[in-house]
Structure 1
Amino acid sequence: MLALARLLIMGFVVLTVIYVALSFYSRRVRRGKLAREWDEDIRTGDRDAFIEDGLQDYDQSLRRKLILGVYIVPVTLVAIIIYLTNFY
């Protein structure tokens, strides 16, 4: 039982680090795309406001929510492996 608790705690820590890194990377890429779009196409108004509005839209997007798969997929796979190892 102690081994399972250690696995869960370490897994949660590792998945959290991966989630945070992936979130920062994805947000940075989106910010770059918005800045490039403004530089190439728009060039009117406030550039920073345009980028912030785009990032607020990004925060509500499906892509942002899919990053939570970092937690869901590995936990599901480990649960399936444990189940198949013990009960099948």
Structure 2
Amino acid sequence: MRYAQGGGLTDAGRTARERVRLRAVERFENGQKNREIAAALRVSERSVERWRRQWRERGEAGVLSKGSPGRPRLSSAQIADWSGSWSVAR
């Protein structure tokens, strides 16, 4: 199944998923196994494996949400400036 931009989650949904990942971090620190964490948090073992790898590499920041991939990286002012130069160049 394909999802719309942002993986089909609202901001609230992304926040809820981030809370799950942070609960997983607490369990990593307590030495729990991936299988136990996956069952307790009702997620796949594969997700827990990925989160643990990110946690090892970058700490807690590694599992934090990076936001929706569909949101513009430019500010409104930058977009307006670019749009203005586009109409002039045409």
TM class by shorter chain equals 0.3 to 0.5
Q: Which structure's CA Rg is the greater one?
A: 1
- TM-score, normalized by length of structure 2? 0.33
- TM-score, normalized by length of structure 1? 0.34
